[in-house]
Amino acid sequence: MADLFATYYYHPRADTTPEHAAQALAEEETTGTWTDISTTTDYIRRLDGVVESVEPHGTGYVTRIRYPLEIFEPGNIAQYLSVFAGNLFGLGRLETVRLLDVEFPDTLVAPFHGPKFGMEGVRRLVGTTKRPHVGTIIKPKVGLSPEDTARVAYDAAIGGVDLIKDDETLTNQAFCPIPDRVAAVMGRLDEAQSETGRHVLYAVNVSTRADRILERAEIALEHGANMLMVDVLTSGFDAIRALAEDPSVKVPLHIHRTMHAAMTRNPEHGIAMRPLARLVRMVGGDQLHTGTASGKMGHTPVDEIRGDNEALLCRCYGLKQVFPVSSGGLHPGKVAAELGALGTDLVLQAGGGIHGHPDGTAAGARAMRQAVDAFMEGIPAEEYAKDHYELEQALRKWGSSAARS
């Protein structure tokens, strides 16, 4: 495949045929404009977008458009997006349009190194092979002091989580600055490791302006951070790339997708998660939130999430696999639904579903691990809970949930 192909779902304006609407999209994103112009010359026609197909789908249409390789600047994510996800969303001939997927040619992926660790590297750090990882988020989102943040992290670690992360709104505020927070958390995680023998990752949120993110990451690393977190859509894809490609950053990158639903939620308009997932993998994220099969943010069909995860896990382009993260409203009663729908190459991220356990954070972490163990052993959670107190208490509080279709 020499060129780039993008697939869109759209509704044409009432006075426009599906074919003309697709052509308008291809022209807008390459060499065309709204009227004939005298500066159009024959030699630029090689850069025209080409409508490969138009097919009915649901109440609208799906079109696949080929963008010539030469129109792209290799290695420039901002420029890539300006072509296949640019002005088209406001185009007058389209009532709605959603970018579903992008097929990148090798030439446009080659400048990117991809994940430094990838899923297998993260598993090696934690010491797992097949089972899903269990993670938690420091709760409340904001407000805790460094010492109280560290206490929550310790409780989660001794309870059995593999990953602890900041929430997306906690960065470097005065009430919990990164140097103090990281030092406190890593000190308590060292205690937990000496007690349990387990290595737990802490993803500290270093999201900030792109030209300062490496400086902030270096501060976190100096204070012992063993994982970094970036809010990709608010910080930018190249913020991840800056960290992933810097030789001084020798820890995995956990990627949060806060703000994504402004683009992904509407099934008729915007950008689906899959193109974003492909870009995160290219620029070097090691873990990425992709959605839940049973959680609180349930607007994405499960088969679409599976496809998004496959974009992270496929053996392609020579890039390491990215660990998909399921997060948002999870608790032990939802573990079987998540793993049954999405598989075990997954990070199960529970905040309230751990800290809200009747017996506290450590018990909540144990309950999540017990629910994972039950699934891996092929035992229903309700049955497993009969001799696992923490899981029994969690199911008593929250019950069990099935995956969406």
Task: Give the pLDDT of residue 297.
Answer: 65
Query: Do 105 and 126 share a domain, yes or no?
Result: no
Query: Do 222 and 82 share a domain, yes or no?
Result: no
Is 320 known to be catalytic? Answer: no
For the domain that residue 171 is a member of, what is the CATH number? 3.20.20.110
Count structural domains, the chain: 2
For the domain that residue 103 is a member of, what is the CATH number? 3.30.70.150
Query: Do 293 and 194 share a domain, yes or no?
Result: yes
pTM (whole model) above 0.85: yes
Query: Do 62 and 172 share a domain, yes or no?
Result: no
Is there a domain that residue 404 lies in? no
Is there a domain that residue 403 lies in? no
Query: Do 36 and 176 share a domain, yes or no?
Result: no
298 has a pLDDT exceeding 80: no
Question: Among 11, 116, 165, 256, which one carries the catalytic annotation?
Answer: 256
Query: Do 164 and 242 share a domain, yes or no?
Result: yes
Task: Give the pLDDT of residue 202.
Answer: 98
Examine the fold and report which residue of 46, 81, 109 is the final residue of a domain before the chain moves on.
109
Is 296 known to be catalytic? Answer: no
Examine the fold and report which residue of 81, 109, 137 is the final residue of a domain before the chain moves on.
109
Task: Tell me the three-class secondary structure of the chain, residue by residue.
Answer: CCCEEEEEEEEECCCCCHHHHHHHHHHHCCCCCCCCCCCCCHHHHHHCCEEEEEEEECCEEEEEEEECHHHCCCCCHHHHHHHHCCHHHHCCCEEEEEEEEEECCHHHHCCCCCCCCHHHHHHHHHCCCCCCEEEEECCCCCCCCHHHHHHHHHHHHHHCCCEEECCCCCCCCCCCCHHHHHHHHHHHHHHHHHHHCCCCEEEEECCCCHHHHHHHHHHHHHCCCCEEEEEHHHHCHHHHHHHHHCCCCCCCEEEECCCCHHHHCCCCCEECHHHHHHHHHHHCCCEEECCCCCCCCCCCCHHHHHHHHHHHHCCCCCCCCCEEEEECCCCHHHHHHHHHHHCCCCEEEECHHHHCCCCCHHHHHHHHHHHHHHHHCCCCHHHHHHHCHHHHHHHHHHCCCCCCC
Is there a domain that residue 242 lies in? yes
Query: Do 69 and 191 share a domain, yes or no?
Result: no
Query: Do 202 and 280 share a domain, yes or no?
Result: yes
Examine the fold and report which residue of 50, 78, 109 is the final residue of a domain before the chain moves on.
109
Is there a domain that residue 405 lies in? no
Is there a domain that residue 182 lies in? yes
Is there a domain that residue 368 lies in? yes
Is there a domain that residue 97 lies in? yes
Q: What is the pLDDT of residues 320-357, one digit of tens each?
A: 999 999 999 999 999 999 999 999 999 999 999 999 99
Query: In which domain, by residue range, is 19 found?
Result: 4-109
Query: Do 194 and 316 share a domain, yes or no?
Result: yes
Question: Among 20, 113, 139, 397, which one carries the catalytic annotation?
Answer: 139
Is there a domain that residue 79 lies in? yes
Query: Do 309 and 383 share a domain, yes or no?
Result: yes
pLDDT band at 402 (very low <50, low <70, confident <90, very high): confident
Q: What is the pLDDT of residues 252-274, one digit of tens each?
A: 999 999 999 999 999 999 999 99
Query: Do 239 and 370 share a domain, yes or no?
Result: yes
282 has a pLDDT exceeding 70: yes
Query: Do 237 and 254 share a domain, yes or no?
Result: yes
Q: What is the pLDDT of residues 353-390, one digit of tens each?
A: 999 999 999 999 999 999 999 999 999 999 999 999 99
